[in-house]
């Protein structure tokens, strides 16, 4: 237990903190050797963690004095929010840490050690981060609720603190889960039921044309999602000097889009509003003729007309053209879509994405009109080829051209590569 300090000592030490930080921030680090720079970073991080650990003692003192009640606020969390301009979630995290790691007082006034003394000591030493503390507190709370013997709880706490010195919070969470499964195997069902209650997904527009997808996935759904999306999110192999320049996040986004397109093409989604699940896109007659402007889906998403008509190459996409007052001038759902027999013939011929070097199988491809449908291109085998979602999006913008020769698609690279070098996908 730390020795008590005088009022003047506490005030002087607190006042010295921002001065020391300002002095360090005013230093020039350019002359430091690499090892010295790394040492400074480690020391700064340790000091940051020790300052965060100090919260436990300060918040414990706030609660002991019942300052929240004195200032007529609902708990010490709300007191911290108003005092420090913290969000409610930030203040609640600090209070939770303090109650687990801070000093305690018995009803008779005796001083008690923290609920998690080993974690508290490591936190005060600057060993643990806040997120690691979250993992340890959650794990120990579950062990207490399960009635695990106190001796085993102490061993578990020491083990998790030891692992936290070696691994980050995400890895530590997995280690803690395996420990919980061992010490509290009966808690697995309860955890699954809690996941079912918490499962959630929402997609909302952010006002810029993009949409924010937020979700809490249960373990089974997450396992399915990661297995499918990761298989589709690998970088495409470089072709003729071009490489896949998408970020990992962009590849995961495109993988999700491919999965959704496949679901629409499969034709097995439930009926909605009396018709099979369909993306309904509306545009004006002028937009349809010019191929410019923005079309609108039935859910309010705004797409370029070029995007809309490219999507309409696929099944379960319906387009509707109206005049300036809303009268229907034309509509379509199947005129652009290859028949089942045509699709089988395309699969037999192309065996997947026919872009040179691409290995995407037929299941993940779309039918591409070599001569665009709105320019008079027919939906027949001599004007169709299979392209994966990635190459279907880039075939025009990337400067590549597709031509049919003897019923087989050939590709002409853009001028900066070699426009004379005709290429095709020669699968083994």
Residues 295 and 218 in one domain: no
Q: How many CA atoms lie within 13 A of 127 on its CB side?
A: 16
Residue pair 285/295 in contact (Cβ under 8 Å)? The answer is no
pLDDT range class, residue 292, cuts 50, 70, 90: confident
Residue 423 within any structural domain of the chain: no
Nearest to 250 by CA among 293, 202, 307, 210: 210
Per-residue confidence at 1, pLDDT binned at 50, 70, 90? Answer: very low
Examine the domain organization and report whether 28 and 170 are in the same domain: yes
> Token pair of 129, please?
């981060």
pLDDT in the model for residue 252: 92
User: Higher model confidence: residue 184 or residue 36?
Assistant: 36
Q: Looking at the structure, tell me whether residues 211 and 321 fall in a common domain.
A: no
Q: Can you give the CATH number for the domain in which 348 is found?
A: 1.10.30
CA angle, 93 then 115 then 184, to 5°: 90
Mean pLDDT for 242-252 is 86
Report the greatest alpha carbon distance in the chain.
95
- Give the pLDDT confidence score for residue 135 in this predicted structure: 94
Q: Is residue 375 part of a domain?
A: yes
Does residue 262 lie within any of the structural domains? Answer: no
Domain that holds residue 113: 7-195
Residue 177 lies in a domain: yes
Q: Residues with Cβ < 8 Å from 366, sequence gap 6 or more?
A: 261, 265, 313, 314, 386, 387, 388, 389, 392
Counting residues of the chain whose pLDDT is more than 90, the rounded percentage is: 19
Matching residue, tokens 């597709």: 402
- Structure tokens, 340: 């089942």
pLDDT in tens, 36-65: 999 999 999 898 888 888 888 889 888 888
Which residues lie closer than 8 Å to 283 by C-beta, 6 or more apart? Answer: 293, 295, 296, 305, 308, 319, 320, 321, 322
Return all residues near 264 (Cβ < 8 A) that are at least 6 apart: 277, 278, 279, 314, 315, 316, 317
- Encode pLDDT of 257-288 as tens digits: 888 888 777 665 655 444 444 667 777 777 77
Instruction: Check residues 181 and 128 and name the one with the higher pLDDT.
Output: 128
Based on the fold, state whether residues 398 and 286 are members of the same structural domain: no
Q: Which of 93-97, 250-254, 392-396 has the lowest mean pLDDT?
A: 392-396
| Same domain assignment for residues 146 and 175 | yes
Does residue 64 share a domain with residue 123?
yes
In terms of C-beta density within 10 A (0-12 exposed, 13-18 middle, 19 or more buried), how is residue 232 classed?
buried
Mark whether 86 and 221 lie in a shared domain.
no
Residue 394's contacts (CB-CB under 8 Å, 6 or more residues apart) are: 400
Of 332, 352, 367, the residue at which a domain comes to its end is 332
Shared-domain flag, residues 109 and 225: no
Q: What is the β-pairing status of strands 317-322 and 279-284? A: parallel
Q: Are 314 and 369 part of one and the same domain?
A: no
pTM: 0.48
- Domain presence at residue 265: no
Same domain, residue pair 311 and 383: no
Q: Which pair of structure tokens corresponds to residue 329? A: 């001038």
What are the pLDDT digits (tens) for 131-181?
A: 999 999 999 998 988 888 999 999 999 999 999 999 999 999 989 988 988
pLDDT of residue 134: 93
Q: Are residues 365 and 387 in the same domain?
A: yes
Q: Tell whether 249 is covered by a domain.
A: no
Instruction: Tally Cβ neighbours within 10 Å of residue 241.
Output: 10
Assess if residue 70 is contained within a domain: yes
Measured distance CA(281)–CA(287) in Å, rounded = 12
The tens digit of pLDDT for each residue in 310-365 reads: 665 554 455 566 665 556 555 554 445 667 778 888 888 888 899 988 888 888 88
Q: Structurally, how many domains does the chain consist of?
A: 4
b/e per residue 318-355 (b: at least 16 CB within 10 A): bbbbbeeeeeeeeeebeebbbeeeebeebeeebebbbb
Same domain flag for 379 and 284: no
Q: Is residue 2 part of a domain?
A: no
């Amino acid at each position: 237990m730390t020795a008590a300090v005088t009022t003047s000592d506490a005030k002087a030490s607190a006042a010295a903190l921002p001065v020391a930080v300002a002095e360090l921030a005013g230093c020039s680090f350019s002359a430091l050797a690499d090892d010295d720079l790394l040492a400074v970073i480690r020391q700064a991080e340790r000091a940051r963690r020790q300052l965060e650990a100090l919260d436990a003692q300060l918040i414990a003192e706030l609660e002991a004095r019942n300052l929240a009640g004195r200032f007529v606020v609902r708990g010490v969390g709300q007191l911290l929010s108003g005092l420090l301009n913290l969000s409610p979630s930030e203040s609640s995290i600090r209070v939770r840490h303090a109650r687990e790691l801070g000093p305690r007082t018995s009803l008779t006034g005796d001083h008690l050690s923290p609920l998690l003394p080993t974690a508290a000591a490591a936190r005060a030493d600057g060993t643990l981060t806040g997120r690691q503390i979250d993992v340890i507190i959650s794990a120990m709370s579950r062990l207490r609720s399960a009635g695990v013997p106190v001796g085993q709880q102490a061993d578990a706490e020491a083990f998790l603190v030891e692992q936290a010195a070696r691994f980050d919070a995400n890895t530590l969470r997995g280690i803690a889960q395996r420990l919980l499964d061992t010490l509290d195997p009966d808690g697995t069902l309860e955890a699954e039921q809690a996941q079912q209650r918490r499962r959630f997904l929402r997609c909302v527009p952010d006002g810029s044309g993009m949409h924010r997808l937020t979700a809490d996935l249960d373990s089974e759904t997450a396992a399915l999602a990661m297995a499918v999306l990761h298989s589709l999110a690998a970088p495409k192999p470089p072709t003729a000097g071009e490489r896949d320049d998408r970020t990992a996040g962009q590849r995961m986004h495109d993988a999700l889009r491919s999965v959704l397109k496949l679901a629409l093409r499969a034709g097995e989604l439930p009926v909605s509003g009396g018709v099979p699940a369909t993306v309904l896109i509306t545009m004006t007659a002028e937009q349809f003729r010019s191929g410019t402007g923005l079309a609108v889906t039935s859910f309010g998403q705004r797409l370029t007309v070029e995007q809309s008509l490219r999507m309409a190459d696929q099944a379960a996409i319906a387009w509707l053209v109206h005049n300036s007052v809303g009268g229907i001038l034309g509509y379509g759902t199947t005129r652009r879509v290859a028949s089942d027999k045509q699709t089988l013939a395309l699969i037999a011929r192309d065996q997947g994405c026919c872009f040179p070097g691409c290995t995407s199988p037929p299941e993940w491809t779309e039918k591409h009109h070599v001569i665009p449908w709105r320019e008079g291109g027919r939906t027949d085998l001599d004007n169709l080829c299979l392209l994966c979602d990635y190459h279907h999006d880039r075939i025009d913008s990337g400067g590549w051209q597709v031509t049919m020769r003897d019923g087989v698609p050939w590709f002409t690279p853009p001028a900066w590569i070699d426009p004379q070098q005709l290429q095709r996908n020669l699968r083994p």
